[in-house]
Chain A
């Protein structure tokens, strides 16, 4: 699309993961640490142990009010500026699960105190009140590309001059609801993920995560450009086997990156077919780019992954070193896959990509202003 060449500046960004903030998360990834641990999928109700990465001190079992508010609060104090949710400073809240863990607890226990944060509108309204935002708070929910959609919508209010700055906040915290769902699909199992590696069977891990970005005109250390979406609408949980969905999405980001030397931060959950298709499409669109994915350590932070990994990518550029693709054993799916970390001083851009159910794809180019 024409606007894929347009850019907006990232005035600030940050994240919270089980390792801590973006700098702490980067440091842990560079050390090759894995946040995933075996956890019973139904929490206190038991079930198979699967790889989950929970914020320290947080249980998979829901509390009322939700215990993930502490992590959101920790992130919130790092968001610069104020007056969020006013007409000139709108907020875009994105995610895939919101307070759905409360619905699970409500159904299991009958305790109505779990209802308060349950549905998307009620959860967001509670969050708005908790964080002291004004009323202009949009809610975006498109599974694991949700954060990218929030960035695009926020960019448009900036480009159009309707807002001076826009805040995108994305979060997803695990619960038996989501762990049970992915376990039912059989892609979350006792195996730990090995993104971008060939092996007998694929597996993912899931992780808690939240991130934010403040988008601005003319202010900010980072430029976001080449924002792109593509929805295959081929199958609820599978991609077209020719990889066309990946390549269609990456084309605008590749156009924006022309003439630059970039590295590629992919989606890389640990599923085999999607991993192979993504590696092939990335190698075609960015032939010289090292390909990395971090979900083998952090788990898949679902709707928040686009913002969580953007914040880590900016830290990696600042630090001059990109973490490799952490995960279990297996041979890399392509020559471009970087299993080890590398110095990124000679690169002048990062392409960040995410994918979701329904064959949804999203990507953007991140570069220094």
Chain B
């Protein structure tokens, strides 16, 4: 059976939350964000969990939303600490170091079930892959969120991000009052790439964009 499926790869950008930690230390970030979560709930949260969780929470994720989570390196500091915990590995750090745990830290804290949760990693075409997954979801509202946290010893080996940031964007099929803009993917001839850092910078600056972001794929972002 072949399904009839709308292939319009376009959504309205209803909300965008960005958080660039810049040179902020993990301790400073924790102090800045801990008041946004219930008392006592942040002790085991990671920097990325706090930042992605805070951004995603602003969009009030509901059970029928689809959540697409984009992070290349994810819980780098928990991963580093877990590796350092051998030969007596920490069970808590093992759980926390798993790729999509930043979103789970928020959602489990809220006891908020969601049907569709699509965690992705990526490289030079990451923006395209995250957007394609978001725009093909049948959910009326897709929450595309993600970010990175700066590594320490893994960064020295090129195995971690050098930046700490988070974002969450509500992408909707229907335009609603207060809509911020529109994102569109179309087939086109040509080459290009757009990684997650560059995608974040576009969102943070709310810069319009029109260009190739993957071989054969053109992205356009319009802001109202």
Q: How far is the CB of A13 from chain B (nearest CB, A)?
A: 19
For A31-46 the 0/1 string (1 means CB < 8 A from B) is 0000000000010010
CB–CB A142/B117 < 8 A: yes
Determine if B100 is an interface residue (Cβ-Cβ < 8 Å). Answer: yes
Which A113-138 residues have C-beta < 8 A from chain B?
Answer: 115, 118-122, 124-125, 134-138
Partner of A180, one of B73, B89, B123, B138: B89
Determine if B48 is an interface residue (Cβ-Cβ < 8 Å). Answer: no
Chain B hits for A47, CB < 8 A = 87
Chain B hits for A135, CB < 8 A = 124-125, 193, 214-215
Partner of B122, one of A139, A142, A149, A161: A139
Say whether, besides A1-B116, A237-B95, A357-B95, A122 and B104 are in contact (CB < 8 Å): no
CB–CB A234/B120 < 8 A: no
CB–CB B216/A120 < 8 A: no
Q: With A and B bound together, what is the CA distance between A44 and B55 in angstroms?
A: 44
Q: How far is the CB of A304 from chain B (nearest CB, A)?
A: 15
Determine if A212 is an interface residue (Cβ-Cβ < 8 Å). Answer: no
Chain B hits for A104, CB < 8 A = 83, 86
Partner of B138, one of A1, A124, A137: A1
Chain B hits for A141, CB < 8 A = 74, 99-100, 119-121
CB–CB B111/A157 < 8 A: no
Determine if B39 is an interface residue (Cβ-Cβ < 8 Å). Answer: no
Determine if A162 is an interface residue (Cβ-Cβ < 8 Å). Answer: yes
CB–CB A138/B138 < 8 A: no
Chain B hits for A120, CB < 8 A = 72-74, 99, 121
Determine if A282 is an interface residue (Cβ-Cβ < 8 Å). Answer: no
CB–CB A138/B122 < 8 A: yes
Determine if A153 is an interface residue (Cβ-Cβ < 8 Å). Answer: yes
Q: With A and B bound together, what is the CA distance between A103 and B74 in angstroms?
A: 15
Which A1-48 residues have C-beta < 8 A from chain B?
Answer: 1-3, 6-7, 42, 45, 47
Determine if A107 is an interface residue (Cβ-Cβ < 8 Å). Answer: yes
Q: How far is the CB of A126 from chain B (nearest CB, A)?
A: 11
Chain B hits for A153, CB < 8 A = 118, 133, 136
Determine if A49 is an interface residue (Cβ-Cβ < 8 Å). Answer: no
- Tally of contact residues, A, Cβ under 8 A: 71
Q: How far is the CB of B53 from chain A (nearest CB, A)?
A: 12
Among A42, A160, A186, A357: residue with most chain B CB under 10 A: A160
CB–CB A177/B83 < 8 A: yes
Q: With A and B bound together, what is the CA distance between A96 and B79 in angstroms?
A: 13
Q: How far is the CB of A123 from chain B (nearest CB, A)?
A: 9
CB–CB A136/B214 < 8 A: yes
Which A34-93 residues have C-beta < 8 A from chain B?
Answer: 42, 45, 47, 86-87
- With both beta carbons as reference points, the residue of chain B lying nearest to A223 in the complex is identified as B1
Partner of A139, one of B113, B116, B121: B121
Chain B hits for A258, CB < 8 A = none
Partner of A143, one of B82, B98, B187: B98
Q: How far is the CB of B216 from chain A (nearest CB, A)?
A: 4
For A152-187 the 0/1 string (1 means CB < 8 A from B) is 010011011110000000000000110011111110
Q: How far is the CB of A65 from chain B (nearest CB, A)?
A: 16
Which B188-205 residues have C-beta < 8 A from chain A?
Answer: 193
Among B6, B74, B157: residue with most chain A CB under 10 A: B157
CB–CB A119/B159 < 8 A: yes
A-B contacts, 11 listed (Cβ < 8 Å): A1-B116, A87-B214, A121-B72, A121-B73, A121-B123, A139-B123, A140-B120, A142-B100, A143-B99, A232-B113, A233-B113
